[in-house]
Amino acid sequence: MYNTMPLTQKGTRPNSHAWLKQAVFYQIYPQSFCDSNGDGIGDIPGIIQKLDYLKWLGINVVWINPCFMSSFRDAGYDVDDYYRVAPRYGTNRDLYRLCREAHRRGIKVCLDLVAGHTSIDHPRFKASSRVGRNRYSDRYIWTSSAISDADKGLSLIQGNSERDGGYVANCFPFQPALNYGFARPDQPWQQPVDAPGPLENRKELIKIMEYWLGHGVDGFRVDMAFSLVKLDPGHKETIKLWQDIGQKVRAHYPDIALISEWGNPAEAIAAGFDIDFMLHFGVGGYPDLMLNENCFFRRSGGAGIGNFLKSYLKLAAKTKGKGLISVPSGNHDIKRPRADGRTVSDLKVIFTFLLTWPGAPFIYYGDEIGMRYIPGLESKEGGYDRTGSRTPMQWDNGTNAGFSTADKERLYLPLDPRRNRPNVEKQAGSPGSLLNHVRRLIALRKRSPALQAEGALIPLPVENIDRHFAYLRQAADERFLIVLNPSATPSSVRINGIKPDNLSPRICHGAQARVEGDDIQVNMVGVSYGVFKL
């Protein structure tokens, strides 16, 4: 079946990174979180107003999606000025104040760093597009002819300026790739990684990071971190580039968290990142857990935990002791977990998993109350089908669910139209709510080293693995047994060879466990979970 060797993720950058062991992250999409001034768009003062809520929930780090000056064709992932907060979110001073207020509550703040591309409206791209050579000519990747020169594996945008050449775009055509060089240049216009343009871009990136770190920011989630060096098999040169940047920045700021959107923790952690995600792209496994039609977290039983686990264990072995893997509840690019008919009971099983799993848990805003993915919304700021995961946070029963005092038509995106849409206020007051479940799990994790980032994970071989899953987490003499049955079918698990002195249920629903001789017998109704202290 699979390896039952204990896997620890011990000694992550000792001394400096102790705080990551206990970290529970919360991702804030700033335009949809809380609008403090009634213009219909969430903002930084709004986030400050909600810090007490995050503290109550047990969150100790937030990651805020891009909040810099932008043309907002891709919701801020098209930056015009990396040194200025977008006016719609407030001022730089508001962001400094957010850091201070968050720190007072024991919460760290990570920003989103779009390292690989700017917007076409960035003054440097405009300079780079000019015909005459200037200091920015080589800061983006231009081919030598606007007519030919197409290259495999690169997306070329041609004919948008009088400069003869096409530029390489990273994602959408308005996101020109910054020039960090090519791994093996084989065209005259492809520059090596140590050419002057690429080196200037590296320096600039460090300058941006240090600017915000100097104002109290605690780290960055780096957008498309894998994308910097072009035509780079195995991302070897990109890995070296990040090692270099990380080393330089950490020399001044040793305690920061660098989190990558890479989708391959083995590569990303080798590159010096502290955390990388399993995602909808990259190494695989996450879709088999959360997203596919037959994924593990489906009532229909799905294909079991096997595919996810195989991928996870491989990555865990490769990154052991060096960095953390994150399995997030969702994010702004994928469907929320509350989609495709999933109910709050299903979400409780999912969160039991996410918050008892090693590494760094990330909760996407609103997932903790079971906000729905809203299908069929008109695309907003390049959201397309991602738009349905980006609707305003639902705080209470008041106007616009407490998100904003603006007229409904002026909201950044429409709210979930359902009358029974979940909200924070209602769930905070209801002991059986998803929100209180998440809060209890976070509290248990924070006081139990075995459940934290580096506690050992021991998956248990059990029958009917297509329906359910059981594993141990342990550290020193502390040990937990976790059982999950997301399927609608009742199930039972017999775990042999563990003779606990004690077996006490901590956070359970529909799962009962008792010691029988040398075994533990667990009986589970459909859609159930149990966290037992052994």
Nearby residues of 125 by Cβ (< 8 Å), 6 or more positions away? 118, 119, 136, 140, 176
Residue 43 binds which entry of Ca ion, ligand GLC, none, with Cβ cut-offs from 5 to 8 Å by kind?
Ca ion
400 vs 407: CA distance, rounded Å: 8
73 vs 172: CA distance, rounded Å: 9
Q: Please, are residues 70 and 119 in contact by the beta-carbon 8 Å criterion? A: yes
Min dist CB 21 to Ca ion, Å, is 35
Residue of the chain from 43, 80, 94, 261 that contacts ligand GLC (CB under 6 A): 261
What is the biggest distance separating any 2 CA atoms in the chain, rounded to whole angstroms? 83
Residue 223 binds which entry of ligand GLC, Ca ion, none, with Cβ cut-offs from 5 to 8 Å by kind?
ligand GLC
Q: Which is nearer to Ca ion, 138 or 381 (CB)?
A: 381
228 vs 115: CA distance, rounded Å: 8
DSSP 95-114: HHHHHHHHHHTT-EEEEEEE
Specify the pairing of strand 166-169 against strand 155-158: antiparallel
Residue 237 binds which entry of Ca ion, ligand GLC, none, with Cβ cut-offs from 5 to 8 Å by kind?
none
209 vs 111: CA distance, rounded Å: 10
With CB under 5 A, what is the number of residues at the site for Ca ion? Answer: 5
Min dist CB 394 to Ca ion, Å, is 17
Q: Which is nearer to ligand GLC, 171 or 475 (CB)?
A: 171
Its sign, for the CA torsion 203, 207, 208, 209, is positive
Q: Which of residues 72-111 bind ligand GLC (CB under 6 A)?
A: 74, 77
Q: Does 43 bind Ca ion (CB under 5 A)?
A: yes
Q: Does 122 bind ligand GLC (CB under 6 A)?
A: no
Q: Which position's Cβ is nearest ligand GLC?
A: 77
Q: Which is nearer to ligand GLC, 77 or 529 (CB)?
A: 77
Min dist CB 66 to ligand GLC, Å, is 8
Residue 74 binds which entry of ligand GLC, Ca ion, none, with Cβ cut-offs from 5 to 8 Å by kind?
ligand GLC
The site string for ligand GLC over 173-192 (x = CB under 6 A, - otherwise) reads: --x-----------------
Min dist CB 227 to ligand GLC, Å, is 9
Q: Beta partners for 64? A: 28
Residue of the chain from 64, 224, 258, 458 that contacts ligand GLC (CB under 6 A): 224
Residue 261 binds which entry of ligand GLC, Ca ion, none, with Cβ cut-offs from 5 to 8 Å by kind?
ligand GLC
State the SS3 of 487-534.
CCCCEEEEEECCCCCCCEEEEEEEEEEEEECCEEEEEEEEEEEEEEEC
Which element (helix H / strand E) includes 325? strand 324-326
Q: Which is nearer to ligand GLC, 176 or 459 (CB)?
A: 176
Specify the pairing of strand 491-496 against strand 456-459: unpaired
Q: Does 223 bind ligand GLC (CB under 6 A)?
A: yes
Residue 288 binds which entry of ligand GLC, Ca ion, none, with Cβ cut-offs from 5 to 8 Å by kind?
none
Min dist CB 422 to ligand GLC, Å, is 24
Residue of the chain from 157, 171, 406, 456 that contacts ligand GLC (CB under 6 A): 171
Q: Does 121 bind ligand GLC (CB under 6 A)?
A: no
Q: Give residue 243's Cα distance to chain centre.
A: 21
Q: Which is nearer to Ca ion, 393 or 495 (CB)?
A: 393
With CB under 6 A, what is the number of residues at the site for ligand GLC? Answer: 10
Residue 425 binds which entry of Ca ion, ligand GLC, none, with Cβ cut-offs from 5 to 8 Å by kind?
none
The site string for Ca ion over 88-117 (x = CB under 5 A, - otherwise) reads: ------------------------------
89 vs 30: CA distance, rounded Å: 8
Min dist CB 170 to ligand GLC, Å, is 6
Tokens for 400? 């616009």
Q: Which of residues 320-349 bind ligand GLC (CB under 6 A)?
A: 332-333
Specify the pairing of strand 275-277 against strand 324-326: parallel
Amino acid at 315: L
500 vs 522: CA distance, rounded Å: 14
Rounded to 5 degrees, φ, ψ at 308 are: -60, -50
Residue 333 binds which entry of ligand GLC, Ca ion, none, with Cβ cut-offs from 5 to 8 Å by kind?
ligand GLC
Q: Please, are residues 98 and 47 in contact by the beta-carbon 8 Å criterion? A: yes
Min dist CB 331 to ligand GLC, Å, is 7
Q: Please, are residues 243 and 272 in contact by the beta-carbon 8 Å criterion? A: yes
Q: Does 120 bind ligand GLC (CB under 6 A)?
A: no
Per CB under 5 A, the segment of 35-43, 360-368, 412-420, 507-515 that binds Ca ion is 35-43
Q: Please, are residues 135 and 127 in contact by the beta-carbon 8 Å criterion? A: yes
Residue 171 binds which entry of ligand GLC, Ca ion, none, with Cβ cut-offs from 5 to 8 Å by kind?
ligand GLC
Q: Which is nearer to ligand GLC, 390 or 437 (CB)?
A: 390
State the SS3 of 390-457.
CCCCCCCCCHHHHCCCCCHHHCCCCCCCCCCCCCHHHHHCCCCCHHHHHHHHHHHHHHCHHHCCCCEE
Q: Beta partners for 494? A: 521
Min dist CB 403 to Ca ion, Å, is 10
Q: Does 521 bind Ca ion (CB under 5 A)?
A: no
Q: Does 37 bind Ca ion (CB under 5 A)?
A: yes
441 vs 451: CA distance, rounded Å: 10
> Which residues are near Ca ion by CB under 5 A?
35, 37, 39, 41, 43
> Which residues are near ligand GLC by CB under 6 A?
74, 77, 114, 171, 175, 223-224, 261, 332-333
